[in-house]
């Protein structure tokens, strides 16, 4: 599973604020994501995070250059 910066992750479990959409703000061995609704940031190790993802929305799909 490829996780890129600014991707929207749809999580299996909703956050306490009611949103299931998280924005990727940092990638690497640890991935930092920010809740789209309440702005809360959390860090996950990539394998742990992948188990929690239901879907990924690729924001940069049409404008990828690298």
Q: Which residues bind Zn ion (CB under 5 A)?
A: 15, 17, 19, 35, 37-38, 40
Minimum distance from CB of 63 to Zn ion (Å)?
27
Neighbours of 15 (CB within 10 A): 16
Q: Name which of 39 and 63 has its Cβ closer to Zn ion.
A: 39
Q: How far is the CB of 64 from Zn ion (least distance, A)?
A: 28
Q: How far is the CB of 54 from Zn ion (least distance, A)?
A: 16
């Amino acid at each position: 599973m490829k996780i890129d910066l600014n991707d929207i992750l749809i999580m299996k479990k909703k956050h306490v604020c009611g949103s299931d959409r998280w924005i990727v703000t940092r990638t690497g061995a640890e991935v930092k994501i920010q809740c789209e609704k309440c702005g809360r940031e959390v860090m996950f190790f990539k394998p742990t995070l992948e188990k929690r993802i239901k879907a990924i929305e690729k924001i940069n799909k049409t404008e990828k250059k690298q």
